[in-house]
Homo-oligomer: A and B are copies of this chain.
């Protein structure tokens, strides 16, 4: 008998060789129907180890911890999409005998498989028949069978099959570590894990076709990459497709161009957005909001240059390890200078210059610092993956006693922002260390790790913030929280990161004089609730579908006179609005009012003020709200006051 330990710490005895699926069945049939795979941590992995995702039908032979994975878990989804790639391969092989296979992993939204069709071709017109075949095979509920195989036998198999790609992959594997997975008529070289059988896959959609060089190497053969996605129900597929269609309409690259928010330029460089006036205005509003929030929360602003000498990044530990993500150095006066990829080292130097005492702590140093990070040009994507990052950054230096309060205040600020931006779904992904990697992946301070993680966990629980804990994904210098939010159409974004740092202040020799008149090292909290302007505005564009709330909109109001006769009146209205600091414009073109309205609607200006004879006569404006139409006539000054109030209600939000 072996002992299985569940996440809640409870244990139960089973025969050795029991599977996760068996265990699930022993609990309830309903659970068993949903188990796609399981995170298993056998005793032999060692104390504090992180576990592995296993097939739900893989035998467990010794004492182990177990966590069932279902469609609700990232890793459960990932297992199903991995299995779906195999199912797709089986269907493809049916129509394209002799097809050769590269790699076929699960990805963020489904899976892909890179294939070599030889002389044959494939187009989206072929998708339907392949999807149907996949569903037919799925209904057969063929089990995914894991087989350990010798390197020799594996090579024999793919030599017979004539698949040079798999042979190349095999070549790099060690004998004794090779496994095959079989389902129905298809066998693949694969490490797994997989779902119990194909029956879990209830709906299938092949998405698109792209070219992809074998192993990402332009000198190698271009294969055909086919993307697909599957779901455990037809309904979920339909929702997914609807969401994708909506996301396409809300694509921040498309709207960013239409609404003149940002642009790229070849002479400036990829991944380096230029913010057009509309985008820069939005940035200014976000900064005003953040600066007000931070001022109220007792932060102090600082400004630091965008580069520093190599030595600083050696002290911080970013060099040489992080060098690949930094911009290349500049050689100046016989020294290497690097653009900053993060603001913390500069802030540490400011902490040092301020020679603080315990009376000055917590010291919260905030900066909208622009950092530069190198990303492969192929990885760049609109505003979501860029090389220049304007970060809502701050570093909080505090004592151990102050940590919980400070960390709680940081979380509270997040929650207030979520409210302002109407973000209803969010999760804090809490990454901890792994004790067996202390001194390697993690700074070797076992007690500090446990203490800090406990403090963080306690605050998360007390604040009732939805969070999920992930072992072995902390930063080098402390536990980390990634803030994941969902846009209005349900797409997930990672917006921000908080980190607790109990190691780098020491490396920088940062100290404060304690109330015992001793020299102590502070803890540092890294936080950036609004992430970067780039990613945040990218997210907001999708979230609001470009219909930004009035406080954030670059242009808040546009005045549309019905004819040139009313231009003087319109001009007076403009002056009035400006007095209230409203960002307004006045369309004095000799165009028909219909055209003026259409253009303003296209630019998604929140309010249009229509001016005609009637309005002039009663000294009013006829208000049209974007997307809603006419909302009635009102005195111009009252309108201005209302808008100002709407803006102030956000900007003077109670932080």
| Shortest Cβ distance from residue A263 to the other chain B in the assembled complex, whole angstroms | 4
Q: A274-B302, A280-B302, A302-B280 are in contact. Are A267 and B332 (CB under 8 A)?
A: no
A332 proximity list for chain B (CB < 8 A): 269, 327-328, 374
From A212-220, A304-312, A486-494, the one touching the partner chain is A304-312
B330, A370: Cβ atoms under 8 Å?
Answer: no
B302, A277: Cβ atoms under 8 Å?
Answer: yes
Which residues, 264 to 278 on A, are CB-close (under 8 Å) to B?
265-269, 272-277
Chain A interface, DSSP helix/strand/loop, else mixed: mixed
Select A308's contact among B267, B304, B328, B337, beta carbons within 8 Å.
B267
A514 interface residue per 8 A CB criterion: no
A305, B274: Cβ atoms under 8 Å?
Answer: yes
A260, B308: Cβ atoms under 8 Å?
Answer: no
Complex CA–CA separation, A587 to B276 (angstroms): 45
A300 proximity list for chain B (CB < 8 A): 277, 280-281
B269, A307: Cβ atoms under 8 Å?
Answer: yes
Q: A332-B374, A354-B260, A365-B277 are in contact. Are A269 and B306 (CB under 8 A)?
A: no
The residue on B at minimum CB distance from A275 is B303
From A119-127, A345-353, A475-483, the one touching the partner chain is A345-353
Task: Report the interface size for chain A: residues with CB under 8 A from the other chain.
Answer: 61
A330, B333: Cβ atoms under 8 Å?
Answer: no
The residue on B at minimum CB distance from A327 is B330
Q: A275-B304, A303-B275 are in contact. Are A328 and B327 (CB under 8 A)?
A: no
B277, A309: Cβ atoms under 8 Å?
Answer: no
A396 interface residue per 8 A CB criterion: no
A315 interface residue per 8 A CB criterion: yes
A330 proximity list for chain B (CB < 8 A): 327-330, 339
Complex CA–CA separation, A638 to B453 (angstroms): 48
Among A300, A301, A367, find the residue whose CB has the most chain B CB atoms closer than 10 A. A301
The residue on B at minimum CB distance from A308 is B268
A91 interface residue per 8 A CB criterion: no
The residue on B at minimum CB distance from A313 is B267
A304 proximity list for chain B (CB < 8 A): 268, 274-275
A198 interface residue per 8 A CB criterion: no
Q: A327-B330, A330-B330, A365-B277 are in contact. Are A268 and B305 (CB under 8 A)?
A: yes
Complex CA–CA separation, A397 to B17 (angstroms): 77
Select A303's contact among B315, B346, B390, beta carbons within 8 Å.
B390
Select A276's contact among B267, B283, B350, B388, beta carbons within 8 Å.
B350
A279 interface residue per 8 A CB criterion: yes
A291 proximity list for chain B (CB < 8 A): 284
Which residues, 329 to 362 on A, are CB-close (under 8 Å) to B?
329-333, 335, 337, 339, 345-346, 349-350, 352-354, 359
A-B pairs with lowest CB-CB distance, top 7 = A277-B300, A275-B303, A267-B312, A263-B353, A272-B305, A280-B301, A268-B308
Extra 11 A-B pairs, beta carbons < 8 Å, given A269-B332, A332-B374: A263-B350, A267-B308, A268-B304, A268-B312, A269-B337, A272-B305, A273-B305, A274-B304, A305-B388, A306-B370, A327-B332
The contact sample of 19 A-B pairs, CB cut-off 8 A, is A265-B352, A267-B309, A267-B311, A267-B312, A268-B304, A269-B307, A269-B332, A272-B308, A274-B302, A274-B350, A275-B304, A276-B350, A281-B300, A281-B301, A303-B390, A306-B339, A306-B370, A307-B339, A307-B372
